[in-house]
Amino acid sequence: MSEALTLEAARARDAHDPLREFRARFALPVDAHGEPLTYLCGHSLGLMPLRARELVCEELEDWARLGVEGHEHARRPWIPYHENLTAGLAALTGARAGEVIAMNSLTVNLHLMLASFYRPQGERTRILMEAGAFPSDRHAVTSQIAWWGLDPEAELIELAPRAGEDLIDTEALEEYLEEHGERVALVLWPPVQYRTGQAFDAARLVQAAHRHGCVAGLDLAHAIGNLPLALHDADADFAVWCSYKYLNAGPGAIGGCFVHERHTRSLPPTRHRGSLPGARLAGWWGHEEPTRFRMEPQFRAAEGVAAWQLSNPPILAAAPLLASLEVFTAAGIGALRQKSRALTGFLEACLAPLAPRVRVITPAEPAERGCQLSLRIGADTARARALFETLNARGAICDWRSPDIIRVAPVPLYNRFEDAWRFTQLLAELLQA
């Protein structure tokens, strides 16, 4: 390795990192000797903010102390609890306050959004998404198509990379829409693709969809908390996400939804209809708050995206998100992104000497990726998998996507340059063994 990629160089970078103090705000999993693991798996499950324990314990205490009274008299009353999360989520998604809501989990939110925004009509019946999408997204889409009595085989269009390639050009999506846009009802796209880590320009995706009269929906699972987002200005119709990856809100944490105010502002509050020619599935938590507890049979929609809520929120699954959003607010997504570019670039540079045995399939251009690098291991699947298992057993925590991809993500809130260096050292050692 060159001079600039030594342990000393990594430590020097850490010493000058303006965000270095944030690592101490997280619980770091340790090995059998009590040493922190080289945890590079924040793209799958983010680490626990220490404050999450405090905030969850406060809710448990308030429940113990107050019982049902906690709905109104807990330190953070439970009825409007989700409102505590709005500012932090709006900052991370680039949304206005009435456009974001914490609720449910990702796949449920995707179904709710599709129920409102996928309205096949006449010739416009298709959904366009990326080939190799996360299976749950595909299941949601195919089942929604079938729900309309249509054939998913015909109506789901999966745009694949060119033969022999891993990445999808945005031009290919634009070209597809140029040719077949009038048949497409909805484009569902990830600003960061889960397997390759490829990032897309959300505004450009939305523009391409809108140019041809299609609804533009985004799955932010791998983008929120990873890249700065500007959903309102990008004019996205809707977006959905989970909070257990870069948002560090814990396993199964409460997810979230964005609906552009264009679709909510004009809604007559008493009518159970969207501004799109469709319906919105309703539950009592989407009812306007001042009259919700009158328990009247008529539905009066809350303002904004809040009207899409169904159930009262899971407070114990929301408290860790509040803890995490406090950390994001303190660090700032702009500063995090700046560090992330440097950190992922450093990891990439450390990995370069391992080519061609290890090939990074994530784009090399920093604007086309977030934290994550996806590494293709040049070996048969069994050997590549064994390598991955040894990495984990030796304390470098990453994950595996069949048949030959190891995903690693140095996360700027808690990872160090030293982690990137240590991971690469271990990988190099195992490749030589």
Ligand X SMILES: Cc1ncc(COP(=O)(O)O)c(C=O)c1O
Which 292-311 positions form the footprint of ligand X (CB under 6 A)? none
41 vs 215, beta carbon nearer ligand X: 41
Report the nearest approach of ligand X to the CB of residue 198 (Å): 13
In terms of Cα–Cα distance, which of 117, 118, 82, 115 is closest to 100? Answer: 82
Among 81, 134, 258, 388, binds ligand X (CB under 6 A): 134
**Shortest Å distance, C-beta 330 to ligand X:** 26
Task: Write down the least CB distance from residue 134 to ligand X, Å.
Answer: 3
Closest approach, Cβ 3 to ligand X, in A, equals: 38
Q: How many CA atoms lie within 13 A of 352 on its CB side?
A: 11
Binding segment (CB under 6 A) for ligand X, from list 82-90, 102-110, 231-239, 344-352: 102-110
- Distance between first and last Cα of the chain: 18
Tokens 């908390």 -> residue:
225
* Residue 397 contacts ligand X per CB under 6 A: no
Closer of 190 and 395 to ligand X (Cβ):
190
Angle, in degrees to the nearest 10, between helices 315-331 and 333-351: 80
Q: How far is the CB of 194 from ligand X (least distance, A)?
A: 5
Q: Does 112 bind ligand X (CB under 6 A)?
A: no
Smallest distance, Å, CB 140 to ligand X?
Answer: 8
Examine residue 106 and tell whether it contacts ligand X (CB under 6 A). Answer: yes
- Count the residues of the shown chain that bind ligand X, applying the rule CB under 6 A: 11
> Per CB under 6 A, which of residues 135..194 are in contact with ligand X?
136-137, 194
| Contact mark string toward ligand X, 46..85, x via CB under 6 A | ----------------------------------------
Segment 214 to 273, residues that bind ligand X, using CB under 6 A: 219, 221, 242, 255
Which residue's CB is nearer to ligand X, number 103 or number 307? 103
Tell me whether residue 264 or residue 374 sits nearer to ligand X (CB atom): 374
**Structure tokens, 305:** 């995206």
What residue has token string 């999360």?
85
**Residue 105 binds ligand X (CB under 6 A):** yes
List % helix, strand, coil for the chain (3-state, nearest 5). 45, 15, 40
Cβ nearer to ligand X, comparing 236 with 331? 236
Cβ-in-10-Å burial (0-12, 13-18, 19+) of 398 comes to: buried
Q: Which is nearer to ligand X, 141 or 306 (CB)?
A: 141
Report the interhelical angle of 7-15 vs 333-351 (nearest 10°): 170
Q: Which is nearer to ligand X, 374 or 424 (CB)?
A: 374
Question: Which residue in 63, 66, 107, 288 binds ligand X (CB under 6 A)?
Answer: 107
Nearer to ligand X, 106 or 267 (CB): 106
Q: Which is nearer to ligand X, 106 or 127 (CB)?
A: 106
CA distance 234 to 227: 14
Binding range to ligand X, per CB under 6 A, among 69-77, 132-140, 270-278, 363-371: 132-140
Rounded to a whole number of angstroms, the minimum distance from the CB of residue 107 to ligand X is 3
CA distances from 404 to 131, 377, 379, 401, 415 (A): 17, 6, 8, 7, 25
In angstroms, the CA 203 to CA 211 distance is 12
Element (H, E) at 158: strand 156-159
Asked if 199 touches ligand X (CB under 6 A), the answer is: no
Any alpha helices (H) in 18-97, and if so which ranges? 50-66, 70-73, 83-93
Which alpha helices (DSSP H) does 94-201 contain, by range?
A: 106-117, 135-147, 152-155, 170-180
Partnered with residue 374 across adjacent β-strands are: 407
Long-range CB pairs of 385-388, under 8 A, 24+ apart, other chains included? 387/427, 387/430, 387/431
Q: How far apart are CA 302 and CA 362, in angstroms?
A: 42
Going from the C-alpha of 65 to that of each of 73, 313, 403, the distances in angstroms are 10, 20, 52
Stretch that binds ligand X, among 48-56, 134-142, 167-175, 177-185 (CB under 6 A): 134-142
Min dist. Cβ of residue 250 to ligand X (A): 12
Q: Shortest approach of ligand X to residue 401 CB, angstroms?
A: 11
What are the residues binding ligand X (CB under 6 A)? 105-107, 134, 136-137, 194, 219, 221, 242, 255
